[in-house]
Structure 1
């Protein structure tokens, strides 16, 4: 089969198209014929050799995909050959930048009608992360004001829609007028352009928009110095959910920014949840049903063929994409 492999850690140039043997589904596993694979920041971290759970090259990256079932292993029930599915896997096993991938059955979710496979390939990481953070951890309600950082990213654009669908007032933070306007199209009631309100001015603007009260929930998708600002933006009894550190820099925290408010700091890491027994299928089914019903729109910015995985990573690392980047592996 065709695949793209990391031959050594480094920049996008280390992503090399190769031919490798077809995998075979073992007991409890599903063989997925991949149609599309999502491109995520974790893929870039694995490629660079800075992700804590990455193995050693050669590695096939890719942690989310959609396609059809090619075969099922012994003991697998509820999944049949030919069904349209989305799949999620950890980074410590062969990934989805390939025509075929073997996945544990509990990480394969059958898709409802009405969801395109290119869209479905973006749900298991960015959308599931936003869903779990807002619905399961922060427990967002219609009475909440929710701040979403990097609101034009894959996670951010999902989070804006999920929070808005829950009835919350969403304050979307992004780095340009184009990105903030785009976030507004997905349901943000207020926007903050960090090219106009950088650093501490961002905090002041959140406080102004909330009448000095602060937000009920801040979804921090950036980390680094931005995390300290998130703590200052939260109000009494609020919740800060940290799900990434794309800044790749330490976060300096002043505990006085959150403990006097009786606020909570909640951490999220999808791979760690799976290690500790989280079964994502029910949440992914609910998300997919929302997409099928038109409740959620899945923005796919750019689709690259599999052999251009290098170009997809270069686009990702420019950090100005709106919505998700996808690799097209085969026709559906």
Structure 2
């Protein structure tokens, strides 16, 4: 089968198209013929050798995909050959930058009609992360004010819609006026251009927009110094959810910025959640059903053929994209 493999850690140039043997489904596993694979920040970290579960080369990256079930192994129930599915596996790292992948059955979710395979390839990581952080951890409710950082990203654009759909007032924060305007189209009431309000000015603007109260929920998808600002931007009894550190920098915080407000700091890491027993299928089914019903829009900015995975990673790392980047593994995906 065709695949893209990393034989040594490095930049996007180490993503090399190769031919490798077809995998075979074992007991409890599902063999999926991949239609499309989502491109994520975690993939770039794996490629660079700085992801905590990167393993050692040679390896095939990719932790989310959509496709059609080719075969099922012994003991598998609830899914059968020919069904359209989405797959997630940050635990075993099967490598979805490939035509075929073997996945544990509990990481495969059957798709409802009305969800395109290209859209479905973006749901298991970015959308599920936004869903879990807002609905399960922060417990967003109608009337909450939610600050979404990096709102033009895959997670951010999903979070804007999920929070707005729950009846929250959303403040969409991003690094340019163009990105914030784009994110506003998904239901944000207010926007914050961080290029015009750097560092402490960002905190001041959040406080101004909230009448000095601060946000009820801050979804911090950036990390590093931005996390310290998130603690200052959250209001009394609020919740800060930290789910990434794309800045790849330490977060130096002053506990006085949050404990006097009785604020909560919540951490989220999808791979670790799975390791400790989280079964994503129920959440992914509900999420996909809402997409199928038209309640959420799934923005896919760019689709690259599998062999151009290097170009997809180069675009990802320029941070110019809005929404998601996808690799089309099969024609028509």
Name the counterpart of 2:267: 267
The within-5 A match list for 1:69-84 is: 69-84=69-84
The within-5 A match list for 1:98-137 is: 98-137=98-137
Runs of 4+ in 1 over 6 A off after TM superposition: none
Q: Does 1:180 align with 2:153?
A: no
For residues 180-204 of structure 1, the C-alpha deviation after alignment (integer angstroms, 9 at most, x for no partner) is: 1101100000000111111111100
For residues 41-94 of structure 1, the C-alpha deviation after alignment (integer angstroms, 9 at most, x for no partner) is: 000000000001111000000000000000000000110100000000115433
Please tell me the root mean square deviation across aligned C-alpha atoms, in Å.
0.7
Q: Is the 8 A contact 2:62 2:93 kept in 1?
A: no
The within-5 A match list for 1:12-27 is: 12-27=12-27
Name the counterpart of 2:300: 300
**Partner Cα distance (2:214, 2:90) in 1:** 36
The within-5 A match list for 1:57-72 is: 57-72=57-72
Name the counterpart of 1:147: 147
Name the counterpart of 1:168: 168
Name the counterpart of 2:213: 213
**Partner Cα distance (1:142, 1:295) in 2:** 16
Name the counterpart of 1:246: 246
Q: Is the 8 A contact 2:94 2:103 kept in 1?
A: no
Shift of 1:284: 0.3
**Partner Cα distance (1:232, 1:93) in 2:** 37
Name the counterpart of 2:257: 257
Q: Is the 8 A contact 1:130 1:162 kept in 2?
A: yes
**Partner Cα distance (1:24, 1:92) in 2:** 15
Q: Does 1:193 align with 2:193?
A: yes
Aligned residue pairs, count: 332
Q: Is the 8 A contact 1:315 1:321 kept in 2?
A: yes
SS at match of 1:32: strand
Name the counterpart of 1:32: 32
**Structure 1 residues not aligned, in runs of 5+:** none
The within-5 A match list for 1:84-99 is: 84-90=84-90, 92-99=92-99
For residues 78-113 of structure 1, the C-alpha deviation after alignment (integer angstroms, 9 at most, x for no partner) is: 101000000001154331000000000000000000
**Partner Cα distance (2:226, 2:117) in 1:** 34
For residues 238-282 of structure 1, the C-alpha deviation after alignment (integer angstroms, 9 at most, x for no partner) is: 000000000000000100000000000000000000000000000
SS at match of 1:86: strand
**Structure 2 residues not aligned, in runs of 5+:** none
SS at match of 1:265: strand
